[in-house]
């Protein structure tokens, strides 16, 4: 084989390998030739990272986010000049709020054709450059955004970006690289990179104080939203709740499965009733335990345990908390459990009280489940299909280990209640505002877990925001089939509901004119799927839903993306919270 000298592109890949990067997601531009050439060398030498062409920047970011959720790995992105960051801004914002570590590399020019070497063309001056460079575009949406200032510091700045992305709280780090600094032979890279800092540990004496308060409390409650980001935390929350017979609610909008939803102590997704009589509220990785902030418990002590207790990227948090425990959540829960065990060991009075409390909350849980099932079964024949019946049927047909990427809005609360999942990591949802990420999230989850069924469940509004053709093309090109369940409730119903709530006697109501709520005419969603080599089926009859789900799942198992277009009653739903 011809001996080809190493380039800066080769050294950049060396840095990414040192930080565990397995995949580079890209919506390509013309400035990354040395890196692409280095990737060709890596492929020929049968080593990573693997290059993934995503055809759309927003898809690249959501794919990387989904892949990290299952793999726990750092990812890298290669995007094009200023237009790439503009496309992926919303998904980057989501990655920041969801603490997803990624290094986002974007090209720019330092010389506008005036420096020796490659002359890019006038479009780099006229069409691709922005005042302040690409970093100025995304600065609010990342942990740090900066530009490489010279060829000599490029590798060091890349190492620092990787280190910062992996420093808790995780998040995306943005680095723009002038293409002029990519030319020439590679500087020496010794393979030694500064590691990210170890997770911080909570103060042991403070945790002991929390344990004492939990054991002494007569009416404690536990609220969580994002503890299940690390699946090991789910088992620990179960152990803690069972030790204390403490009821658990996933409020307000869980982005993960934080507690098994079939567990007797699981009390649903509404915290207000639990908090009314509570004397202690333990918030575990909870960003919005109740809403509004002033509606919290009046007579309960509030303790926050969180690996990111400052919520520094939230413009308003403001929850009244009596005690805050920071530090790595997993080790914090382990130590808290150890303190609780020591305190209740041999205390028969506490054990009896806990058994009585367990029995009380188990009855509440069973009553909730019976009421939910009765409501769904009562709608089994309704046309258009009732969302409760649809959610219940999907929950019964999907395998127990299927992973759901949920991007519903109007029906979000229904799927939380009716899917009935209890296996950690089987529920994944967006943790921030904005639509358009679920297909990429599901495909990233599939990339990290190729042997599991992954289902993206989204409304027709969210479907129209997703980069559908690039996502379906990715699934087809890379052989990553997922199940897409599209629930058409005939428009942006959330928009219509808010208008009716705000202006119940306005012109919109009297004239049946609801601007902003229509998706008309509706496209042929099945045809869109079929155009990308996928299986598609439209379902209107509630009695045909179970069979259609079975057929679609079988097609996915055979290697074909499948889309089910479900036609729903636009008004029949439960509140989201």
Quickly state the pLDDT bin for 490 (edges 50, 70, 90). confident
* CA gap 444, 439 in Å, rounded: 9
For 34-57, letters b (16+ CB in 10 Å) and e give bbeebbebbeeeeebbebbbbbbb
Q: CA torsion angle for 181, 184, 190, 194 (degrees, to 10)?
A: 10
So what's the pLDDT on residue 142? 97
* Residue 305 · residue 284 · CB < 8 Å: yes
Quickly state the pLDDT bin for 576 (edges 50, 70, 90). very low
Name the DSSP letter for residue 22.
Answer: -
Residue ranges of the chain assigned to CATH 3.40.50.970: 8-182, 378-567
So what's the pLDDT on residue 507? 74
Q: How far is CA 405 from the centre of its chain?
A: 8
Query: Which CATH architecture fits 204-362?
Result: 3-Layer(aba) Sandwich (3.40)
* CA gap 492, 498 in Å, rounded: 10
| Top-confidence residue, 557 or 28 | 557
How much is the average pLDDT of 26-51? 91
Quickly state the pLDDT bin for 29 (edges 50, 70, 90). confident
Name the DSSP letter for residue 95.
Answer: H
3-state secondary structure of 241: helix
Question: Residue 244 pLDDT > 90, yes or no?
Answer: yes
* CA gap 146, 568 in Å, rounded: 47
So what's the pLDDT on residue 225? 95
Q: CA torsion angle for 544, 549, 555, 560 (degrees, to 10)?
A: 110
Q: CA torsion angle for 397, 402, 407, 409 (degrees, to 10)?
A: 40
| 526-569: pLDDT as tens digits | 999 999 999 999 999 999 999 999 999 999 999 999 999 999 98
* Residue 438 · residue 430 · CB < 8 Å: yes
* CA gap 244, 236 in Å, rounded: 13
Question: Residue 127 pLDDT > 80, yes or no?
Answer: no
Residue ranges of the chain assigned to CATH 3.40.50.1220: 204-362
So what's the pLDDT on residue 510? 67
Residue (of 52, 43, 66) closest to 446 by Cα position: 66
Strands (E), 350-482: 403-407, 427-429, 454-459
Rounded to 5 degrees, φ, ψ at 124 are -70, -25
For residue 369, give Cα distances in angstroms to 268, 364, 480: 9, 9, 35
Looking up tokens 């909008």, which residue turns up?
A: 253
* CA gap 215, 337 in Å, rounded: 11
Counting residues of the chain whose pLDDT is more than 90, the rounded percentage is 72
Beta-carbon count within 10 A of 190 CB: 6
| 412-448: pLDDT as tens digits | 888 999 998 899 999 999 888 889 999 999 999 999 9
The encoded tokens of residue 202 equal: 């909570």
Q: Which residues pair with 428 in a beta bridge?
A: 256, 405
* Residue 329 · residue 233 · CB < 8 Å: yes
3-state secondary structure 248-317: EEECCCCCECCCCCCCCCECCCCCHHHHHCCCEEEEECCCCCCCCHHHCCCCCEEEEECCCCCCCCCCCC
Query: Which CATH architecture fits 378-567?
Result: 3-Layer(aba) Sandwich (3.40)
For 280-291, letters b (16+ CB in 10 Å) and e give bbbbbbbbbbbe
Alpha carbons within 13 A on the beta-carbon side of 125: 8
For residue 353, give Cα distances in angstroms to 59, 120, 231, 246, 347: 52, 75, 30, 11, 10
DSSP 97-141: HTT--EEEEEEE-SSTT-SSS----THHHHTS--TTHHHHHHGGG
Strand order in the sheet with 323-325: 248-250, 220-224, 280-284, 301-305, 323-325
Looking up tokens 């409020």, which residue turns up?
A: 251
For 313-333, letters b (16+ CB in 10 Å) and e give beeeeebebeeebbbbbeebb
* Residue 223 · residue 246 · CB < 8 Å: no
For residue 124, give Cα distances in angstroms to 129, 134, 287, 522: 6, 12, 42, 39
> To which H or E segment does residue 515 belong?
none
Alpha carbons within 13 A on the beta-carbon side of 269: 25
How much is the average pLDDT of 374-381? 95
Counting residues of the chain whose pLDDT is more than 70, the rounded percentage is 93
Question: Residue 482 pLDDT > 90, yes or no?
Answer: yes
Looking up tokens 């009596």, which residue turns up?
A: 322
The encoded tokens of residue 19 equal: 């930080």
So what's the pLDDT on residue 573? 46
* Residue 143 · residue 135 · CB < 8 Å: no
Mean pLDDT of the chain: 91
| 325-340: pLDDT as tens digits | 999 999 999 999 999 9
So what's the pLDDT on residue 505? 75
Quickly state the pLDDT bin for 575 (edges 50, 70, 90). very low
Third-level CATH fold of 8-182: Rossmann fold (3.40.50)
* Residue 120 · residue 109 · CB < 8 Å: yes
Identify the burial level of 522 via C-beta atoms within 10 angstroms of its C-beta, where 0-12 means exposed, 13-18 middle and 19 or more buried.
middle
Q: Which residues contact 480 (CB under 8 A, 6 or more apart)?
A: 443, 446, 447, 450, 474
Q: Which residues contact 302 (CB under 8 A, 6 or more apart)?
A: 280, 281, 283, 296, 319, 320, 321, 322, 323
| 449-471: pLDDT as tens digits | 999 999 999 999 999 999 999 99
How much is the average pLDDT of 303-314? 93
The encoded tokens of residue 90 equal: 């919303």
Q: CA torsion angle for 214, 215, 218, 219 (degrees, to 10)?
A: 30
* Residue 221 · residue 274 · CB < 8 Å: yes
């Amino acid at each position: 084989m011809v001996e080809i000298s190493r380039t800066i592109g080769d050294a950049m890949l060396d840095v990414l390998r040192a930080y565990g990067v397995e995949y580079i997601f890209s919506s390509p531009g013309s400035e990354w030739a040395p890196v692409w050439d280095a990737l060709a060398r890596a492929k020929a030498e049968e080593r990573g990272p693997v290059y993934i062409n995503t055809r759309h920047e927003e898809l690249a970011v959501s794919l990387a986010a989904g892949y990290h959720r299952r793999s726990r790995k750092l990812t890298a992105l290669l995007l094009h000049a200023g237009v790439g960051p503009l496309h992926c801004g919303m998904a980057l914002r989501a990655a920041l709020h969801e603490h997803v570590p990624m290094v986002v590399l974007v090209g720019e020019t330092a010389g506008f054709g005036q420096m020796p070497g490659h002359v890019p063309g006038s479009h780099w001056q006229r069409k691709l450059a922005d005042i302040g460079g690409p970093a100025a575009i995304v600065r609010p949406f990342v942990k740090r955004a900066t530009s490489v200032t010279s060829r000599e510091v490029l590798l060091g700045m890349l190492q620092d970006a990787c280190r910062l992305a992996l420093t808790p709280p995780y998040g995306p780090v943005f680095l723009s690289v002038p293409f002029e600094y990519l030319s020439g032979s590679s500087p020496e890279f010794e393979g030694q990179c500064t590691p990210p800092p170890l997770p911080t540990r909570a103060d042991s004496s403070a945790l002991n104080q929390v344990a004492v308060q939990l054991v002494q409390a007569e009416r404690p409650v536990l609220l969580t939203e994002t503890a299940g980001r690390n699946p090991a935390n789910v088992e620990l929350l179960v152990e803690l709740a069972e030790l204390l017979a403490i009821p658990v609610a996933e409020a307000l909008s869980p982005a993960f499965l934080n507690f098994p939803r079939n567990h007797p102590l699981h009390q649903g997704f509404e915290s207000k009733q639990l908090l009314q009589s509570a004397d202690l509220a333990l918030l575990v990785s909870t960003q919005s335990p109740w809403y509004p902030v002033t509606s919290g418990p009046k007579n309960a002590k509030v303790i926050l345990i969180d690996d990111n207790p400052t919520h520094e990227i939230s413009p308003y948090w403001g929850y009244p908390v009596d005690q805050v425990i920071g530090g790595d959540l997993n080790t914090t829960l382990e130590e808290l459990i150890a303190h609780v065990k020591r305190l209740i060991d041999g205390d028969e009075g506490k054990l009896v009280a806990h058994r009585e409390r367990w029995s009380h909350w188990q009855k509440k849980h069973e009553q909730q489940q019976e009421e939910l099932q009765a409501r769904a079964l009562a709608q089994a024949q309704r046309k258009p299909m009732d969302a409760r019946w649809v959610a219940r049927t999907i929950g019964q047909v999907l395998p127990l280990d299927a992973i759901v990427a949920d991007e519903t809005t109007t029906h979000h609360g229904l799927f939380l209640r009716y899917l009935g999942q209890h296996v950690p990591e089987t529920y994944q949802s967006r943790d921030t505002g904005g639509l358009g990420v679920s297909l990429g999230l599901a495909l990233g989850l599939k990339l990290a877990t190729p042997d599991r069924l992954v289902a993206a469940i989204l409304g027709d509004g969210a479907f129209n925001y997703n980069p559908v053709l690039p996502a379906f093309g990715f699934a087809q090109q890379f052989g990553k089939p997922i199940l897409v369940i599209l629930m058409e409730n005939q428009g942006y119903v959330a928009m219509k509901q808010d208008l009716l709530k705000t202006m119940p006697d306005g012109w919109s109501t009297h004239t049946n004119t609801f601007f902003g709520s229509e998706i008309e005419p509706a496209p042929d969603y099945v045809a869109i799927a079929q155009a990308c080599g996928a299986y598609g089926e439209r379902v209107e009859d509630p009695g045909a839903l179970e069979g259609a789900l079975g057929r679609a799942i079988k097609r996915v198992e055979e290697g074909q993306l499948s889309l089910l277009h479900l036609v729903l009653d636009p008004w029949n739903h439960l509140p989201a919270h």
